[in-house]
Structure 1
Amino acid sequence: MASPAHPSTSPSPTTDTGPRAPSARLHHLDALRAGALLLGVVLHTVLGFVPGAAWLFQDTRTAWWALPVMVVIHLFRMILFMMLAGYFGRMVLMRRGTGSYVRDRLLRIGAPLIAFWPLAVLSLPVVIVAGSALLGRPLPGAVQGGAGDTGDAQGGADGGAPGLLDLLTPGQLWFLLLLLEIILVVVLVRALLVKALGAERAGRPARALGRVLSSPAGLLLAALPYAAGLAAQGTIIGGIQEPTTLVPVPGASLAYGGAFLVGWFLQAESTSLERMARGWPLCLALACLLTAPLLVGGSGTPGSPVLTLVLVPLAGWAWVRGLLGVAARAMDREVFAIRYLADASYWIYLLHLPIVVALGLAMAQMPLPPLVKVALNLLLTTGILLLAYDLMVRSTWIGRWLNGHRRPRALLPAPRRTARRPITP
């Protein structure tokens, strides 16, 4: 499907000249992109149970497992998503041309960012204030005193009174704005290189970097922008911190711009994904080994800043490479349920947070275990949005806008129109 991460068609040969012949669809990348988006829903649900977290809702109970879950998801989710965006982005550009690629991304990323912002972001203060008042609870810490360091929280960028930029915050849709900015920079730099060197000569470094990145040493190279982002943002606590206003921040731009370029260069080398998938057991083992010290201290950061700058980027990219290999082995053909979730995942992410927060506030004082509350919240949120997707999006112009195509309903098939027959006695 076409979305922020990839188009609706298959990859093609990756030379910079000559015709592009389509090949088999990469179903495992479909699944990984959907997983990266849906893990955002999980992250935002779990944050309400992290001890001491300043989030949009705070449950009366905390869970010891909530912080490790948050740390692990935050390590790899966004660099995986941006890497896939770069991979499929270059594919579209090489097949359709620069102008078509930019127009497609403005339509599928920029337009939804603007159109869904009132429902997805602007509605959050209303939901929080109304829900807290109805339940007789104080406002959550993220609303009272700024965003904090735990995730996509809303609030003043400096913890004080909100200004104009804070009121225009992209909220949890920040990654769409950042992705658009990265795309425009990459397209401009590529255009200048092609004009100066020619398409063939400009493409050689991309293919060479793709070969290096898909080798075992590529893990170190991919981790460098992540480490630079951590160093540039001035704090290493909580990993890469997303922008809370319309102004880009160096840390996120470096880390996620680097991830986008990793995917871009990998797509330039036709055998890169296959080469990366071969060492997935070792990568997963390495990811667990590198993540363990980040979890022991309970804050997601070991005592030494230098150690953090080494462990966090390497652990994040080890998870990405390991998951790429697992997905390539497990999902080498289309599975309807996974493809359906992949189609619906963009819609679900765009509109999930107001529902997650409303349900989190409603269940905050219920005498239920945290794991049960998280499961109920996720089931209700995804269930509501899946029904809405099937009824209002999948087979309509909204589905074509977000995903590049219309597909027939699956959960609630539309009734077939039949010709009227005369009633006979």
Structure 2
Amino acid sequence: MPDLGVAQSKVSTERRWHELDALRAFAMLLGIGLHTSLAFFPSFWPVQDEEASFGGPFDEFLIGVHGFRMPLFFLLSGFFTAMLWRRRGTKPLVYHRVRRIVLPLALGLVTIVPAVDWVSERGIESGTEKWAMTAAEQGDIWLPIMLNQPEAIHVAVTSGAHVDARGDDKGTPLHLAAFMGLPDVAEVLLENGADYSLKNVHGSTPLEVAVWVGRTDVADVFVESGAVDIRADGQQWHDIDWYGDGAEFVQAVLDLPAVDDEIGLDSWVDQFHHLWFLWFLAWLVAGFSLLAPLVSRLGHVCTSVDFHRRLLWIAFPLTLFFHLQMGNGGESRTFGPDTSTGLLPAAHVFLYYAIFFGYGAAAYGARTSDGEPLIDRLGRYWKVGLPVSVVLVFPFAAGMTFEGGDWFVAATLQVLYAWGMAFGLMGFFRHFLSEERYWVRYLSDASYWMYLVHLPLVILAQDWIREWETSRLLKFLTICWGVSGVLLVTYRYLVRYTLVGVLLNGPRTRPGADPTVASSNSVLP
């Protein structure tokens, strides 16, 4: 039985969509700016700049880019996936995507993901040390303890903090160190003259608190420093009747994760970080490979312009349906799609992107009534649609989202923004970049490598310059341009003409050699 994808490819030419290659690269490179911006306003990000604040351009930039970037990327990915299937067939498509998606993802899990984890931990530690030291210099002894920063405690005492200061429950810093299970902090406090015999409002000494929460290491520190040992002869700490009774209470108060995964499975498998899009693509291509041959049997029905006009009107309410589930159904107001980086993709996020992917796939091969490729008609009104999306739809969508507006209206505007930006940018890039340009093609090739590897470098750079006494905008531009420059150099000398480059983009010839023309589907999955 013939492969339907190859059979129908005879009606298509080997055209290369230079503008769509460039647009896909643009979507990838925007990710560098997006992740860089996270340091410049209060967020979950591991590195927070000294001048981080809301109300500047960076939070608006983040939500503005996040609102359309990945929907656009998946739409283009669907288009190029269908193109590859039409030209080569199902088996070559699967083989190609395994090499360009699955293998880079597998390698990234043992290289890039651990690197992101490591630099993130370093960034958090660096910021914690800075916050603790700043508080200590102002005479605050409590924050350094809560942040587990023993060195800052010396500074706090020198700056006038009382080592036996009393809290609301009459507890001392030693009580807090015992409660949190911090032996190093307890040692530093004792070295600075803390009194281990003082009692809190419940009549408990720091030693008794340590036993109650089940921290034998802290209890040993107190006994070694001269506290009266409350154990009977030959008795171990865990033999005391009330030993560890407060462990669950501490867990609840401090909100500590109950982790029993000794091999770090969560880090290595259940957290793809920014590589989640490859995992999504792997599933989407698998689904496409199963469904496309069946759908293609419908023939002209699925390639007519009337069908695609109806498809857009179907796609919009479908994306709205899944977008309404973002942010826990609007309870946590968010702009753009949720992020799902785990091993099992969140259903509403996956299906949201699947609609864009499916629409892009359906657009390939479709023609208008006068024979023009439908993809060339999308975005033809970009001169109106793009400004309207940026200047009108985006501000209204953000206002309705974050200022307590109706969630249905907010979600509708967000979806309208995503589709409007996707079509508008397609028209914009078609107008300016439809002809082949070497530098655009080069950036398109490099963008895959740049996005895969950028995140550890971005976090390192954010940590390095966070204390610079200059404007946030200058820091932002320094990181974006600096990291991009490093990545372009590494791509040129370490990737483009090596096995890594073949894996990511296919073979490339050096200048002066006989060029091998590569199809546009070889640039990025």
TM-score, L = length of structure 2: 0.65
The alignment partner of 2:28 has SS state of helix
Please, which of 296, 319, 322 is the counterpart of residue 226 of structure 1? 319
Matches for 1:384-399 after TM superposition, within 5 Å: 384-399=486-501
Return closer, same or farther for 1:23/1:362 CA change in 2, 3 Å cut-off: same
CA–CA distance in structure 1, aligned partners of residues 276 and 11 of structure 2: 33
1:177 correspondence with 2:279 = yes
Residue 78 of structure 2 aligns with an amino acid whose one-letter code is G
Using the TM superposition, give the Cα deviation of residue 73 of structure 1 relative to its aligned residue in structure 2, in angstroms.
0.4
Aligned to 1:122: 114
Q: Is the 8 A contact 2:446 2:491 kept in 1?
A: yes
Please, which of 53, 76, 81 is the counterpart of residue 43 of structure 2? 53
Aligned to 2:52: 62
Cα RMSD (Å): 2.6
CA–CA distance in structure 1, aligned partners of residues 410 and 347 of structure 2: 18
Aligned to 1:295: 398
Measured against aligned partners, the alpha-carbon deviations of 1:170-214 in whole angstroms (never above 9, x if no partner) come to 1110011011111111221234x26xxxx4x42334314x6554x
Using the TM superposition, give the Cα deviation of residue 65 of structure 1 relative to its aligned residue in structure 2, in angstroms.
0.8
Aligned-pair identity in percent equals: 29
Using the TM superposition, give the Cα deviation of residue 45 of structure 1 relative to its aligned residue in structure 2, in angstroms.
0.3
Q: Is the 8 A contact 1:131 1:361 kept in 2?
A: yes
Matches for 1:337-356 after TM superposition, within 5 Å: 337-356=439-458
Please, which of 200, 206, 210 is the counterpart of residue 302 of structure 2? 206
Measured against aligned partners, the alpha-carbon deviations of 1:361-396 in whole angstroms (never above 9, x if no partner) come to 111111111110111101111111111100011112
CA–CA distance in structure 2, aligned partners of residues 23 and 49 of structure 1: 45
TM-score, L = length of structure 1: 0.80
Using the TM superposition, give the Cα deviation of residue 120 of structure 1 relative to its aligned residue in structure 2, in angstroms.
1.9
Residue 17 of structure 2 aligns with an amino acid whose one-letter code is L
Q: Is the 8 A contact 1:15 1:268 kept in 2?
A: no
Runs of 4+ in 1 over 6 A off after TM superposition: none
Residue 388 of structure 1 aligns with an amino acid whose one-letter code is T
Aligned to 1:254: 351
The alignment partner of 2:67 has SS state of helix
Please, which of 464, 469, 477 is the counterpart of residue 362 of structure 1? 464
Return closer, same or farther for 1:161/1:376 CA change in 2, 3 Å cut-off: farther
Measured against aligned partners, the alpha-carbon deviations of 1:75-105 in whole angstroms (never above 9, x if no partner) come to 1100110011100101111111101101110
Q: Is the 8 A contact 2:32 2:455 kept in 1?
A: yes
Please, which of 81, 88, 110 is the counterpart of residue 96 of structure 1? 88
CA–CA distance in structure 1, aligned partners of residues 487 and 481 of structure 2: 10
Return closer, same or farther for 1:75/1:329 CA change in 2, 3 Å cut-off: same
| Range with greater deviation from structure 2 (259-268 or 181-190) | 181-190
Aligned to 2:208: none
CA–CA distance in structure 2, aligned partners of residues 17 and 33 of structure 1: 25
Return closer, same or farther for 1:385/1:278 CA change in 2, 3 Å cut-off: same
Using the TM superposition, give the Cα deviation of residue 240 of structure 1 relative to its aligned residue in structure 2, in angstroms.
1.1
Q: What runs of 5+ residues in structure 1 fail to find an aligned partner?
A: 1-13, 145-157, 411-425
Aligned to 1:28: 19
The alignment partner of 1:55 has SS state of coil
* Structure of larger gyration radius: 2
Q: Is the 8 A contact 2:301 2:307 kept in 1?
A: no
Count matched residues. 369
CA–CA distance in structure 2, aligned partners of residues 18 and 202 of structure 1: 15
The alignment partner of 1:406 has SS state of coil
CA–CA distance in structure 2, aligned partners of residues 313 and 18 of structure 1: 33
Using the TM superposition, give the Cα deviation of residue 71 of structure 1 relative to its aligned residue in structure 2, in angstroms.
1.1
